[in-house]
Amino acid sequence: MEIVTPDQIINALSALRIEGEKGIEAQYQAERDLAIKQLAAEQIEAAAFLRMKGLVGERQAIAKLESHEARQEAELAKAVFNRVRTKMQQLQQQQSALQTQARLVEITYRS
């Protein structure tokens, strides 16, 4: 069993707080990038659809093909956003675990 001192817990909580603050900005940037790329993909698809002649099904298929690269970029941006969000959740879980550990250390030192 690892011996944990109050100072170690305080330092770990401080490090998690700093990482969490960075994560807030990273999450914003990832969400912003995702929104921009999704809108770009939709715009490319809509423009291609309107530009094409023929049956609706054919126009939709061609529009999807023309917007493939932009939709792929949007999907990759979504993966980045999900990864950042998952990391933020992990940081919150670590913080809760450390706070519990801090409480147990406090109880131990009081005894």
How do residues 10-34 score in pLDDT, each as one tens digit? 888 999 999 999 999 999 999 999 9
Q: How would you label 13-42 residue by residue, b for 16+ Cβ within 10 Å and e otherwise?
A: beebeebeeebeebeeebbebbeebbeebe
- Over residues 66-71, mean pLDDT: 96
Confidence of residue 6 (pLDDT cuts 50, 70, 90): confident
Hey, what's the torsion of the CAs at 55, 57, 63, 67, to 10 degrees? 180
Provide the token pair at 60.
């939709």
The whole-number pLDDT of residue 3 equals 59
The whole-number pLDDT of residue 109 equals 79
The whole-number pLDDT of residue 1 equals 44
Contact 85, 29 (CB under 8 A): no
Which of 17-21, 70-74, 107-111 comes out lowest in average pLDDT?
107-111
